Amino acid sequence: MLPQILPKEKVSTFVRMLQQTYRVVGPALKERGFYDYQPIEDPSELVLDYNITVASPKRYFFPAFDVLLKYKKEQAQDILKSQVEVQRTVLFGVHPCDIYATWVLDDVFSKDTKDPYYLARRERAVIIGLDCNKPCDEKSFCLDMGSLNIDKGFDLMLTDIGDRYYVEVATDLGQNLIEQSDVFTAAASADHAALQKFKEEKQNNFKHKIPYDTKYLPELLEHSYDSLIWEANARRCFSCGQCNLICPTCYCFDIIDEDEITLKEGQRIRKWDGCQLRSFAEVAGGENFRPNAGERLRHRMMRKGHYMKLLFGKLGCVGCGRCDRNCPADISVLRTYQQIAAASEATV
């Protein structure tokens, strides 16, 4: 499928065409100068020169609060009604790290037990990516985590080459969308040259921040299991769970049955949970497997940099830097990844 060109002044026309079939969700400016993924009513709300959104787009596939089913008991019959509400959605302008994170979640929700709620939304979604040619800010480390340069997980990928976007077409669905619209033209040699220039600049603008190849991260974390860094860093932790909420790859949840007092009807809901909350590992009888913040912090880092690799073959951190940016105690996953290299040197 040959690359196309989308003039910037035609983006609104393309978005309006998409809106005839889909809910379009994309980065928009929020209060206090932050960006976040929002359903777009008017194409002028879409901001494509954003740096990073506060939260990832995962909530459009895996909502923070989801009614899974409702039941009603009538006479001798139980009526169970599954509640998968699916809106066909285009995620527009998604950066490579968030596409990579979606790819991680696809594995999480489809390996072994398939999650029909996540998959129903995911299968009806279109992803239109937007490449980055410089880091969002000093907190991002996507180059180290391998999520900067991706070649799949999207239907179309836009690259800003001045007054127009170079559009790579990755799927038949992406190709169909292009064919339905009259705003695209085939890329010409000047466009290919502009793309090459973008890629060269991109390569120069991103620098490694972790002092080792992250293929060694799982081993280094294992080596640091008994390190003092967990307690030392967690001393400042408020156990607020903010880092879990905004992480694009955190997927833990609770299932709760809510019954009416008559026990004749009720609903089953799924709510996000977070491993940094004190109650996360609490079980019946009040026992808690991870009562200390240090244990919880270690668990989170192990999960991202070791256990998810074992389970799904991919690291569970894409280096978006959201947790570092938003932690009220300035606890940093990037610094921790740097510190474990030093800790490992000290023990050699």
| Residue 225 backbone dihedrals phi, psi, to 5 degrees | -55, -40
Please check whether residue 35 is in contact with residue 50, taking contact to mean a CB–CB distance below 8 angstroms.
yes
Alpha carbon distance 70, 77 (integer Å):
14
Q: Three-state SS string across 17-50, please?
A: HHHCCCEEEEEEECHHHCEEEEECCCHHHCCCCC
Gap between the Cα atoms of 18 and 41, Å rounded: 12
Residues interacting with ligand SF4, by CB under 6 A?
237-243, 247-249, 276, 304, 317-323, 327-329, 331, 333
C-alpha radius of gyration, the chain, whole number: 22
Minimum distance of ligand SF4 from residue 204's CB (angstroms): 23
User: CB-wise, 98 or 155, nearer to ligand SF4?
Assistant: 98
Least gap, CB of 336 to ligand SF4 (angstroms): 10
The CB-of-275 to ligand SF4 minimum distance in angstroms stands at 9
The overall longest dimension of the chain from CA atoms, in Å, is: 72
Nearer to ligand SF4, 90 or 340 (CB): 340
Minimal CA–CA distance to 256: which of 237, 269, 244?
269
Nearest to 90 by CA among 38, 48, 132, 55: 38
Joined together, the tokens standing for residue 303 give: 């999960």
Q: How far is the CB of 305 from ligand SF4 (least distance, A)?
A: 9
Pick 24 or 243: Cβ nearer ligand SF4 = 243
Please say which residue, 11 or 220, places its beta carbon nearer to ligand SF4.
Answer: 220
Strand order in the sheet with 23-29: 35-39, 23-29, 89-94, 125-130, 156-160, 164-169, 4-7, 185-186
Q: How far apart are CA 293 and CA 299, in angstroms?
A: 10
Sign of CA pseudo-dihedral 129, 132, 137, 138: positive
Q: Taking the complex as a whole, how short is the minimal distance between the CB of residue 292 and ligand SF4, in angstroms? A: 12
- Alpha helices (H) along the chain: 11-19, 96-108, 116-123, 142-145, 172-180, 189-205, 217-223, 229-234, 242-246, 293-302, 308-312, 322-326, 333-347
Instruction: Please count the other Cβ atoms lying within 10 Å of the Cβ belonging to residue 296.
Output: 25
Q: Which C-beta is closer to ligand SF4: that of 6 or that of 217?
A: 217
Closer residue to ligand SF4, CB minimum distance, 184 or 230:
230
Instruction: Supply the minimum distance, in Å, between the C-beta of residue 293 and ligand SF4.
Output: 7
* Min separation Cβ 132 and ligand SF4, Å: 15
Least Å distance, CB 27 to ligand SF4, is: 16
Residue nearer to ligand SF4 on the CB measure, 46 or 150:
150
Q: Whose Cβ is closer to ligand SF4: residue 24's or residue 302's?
A: 302
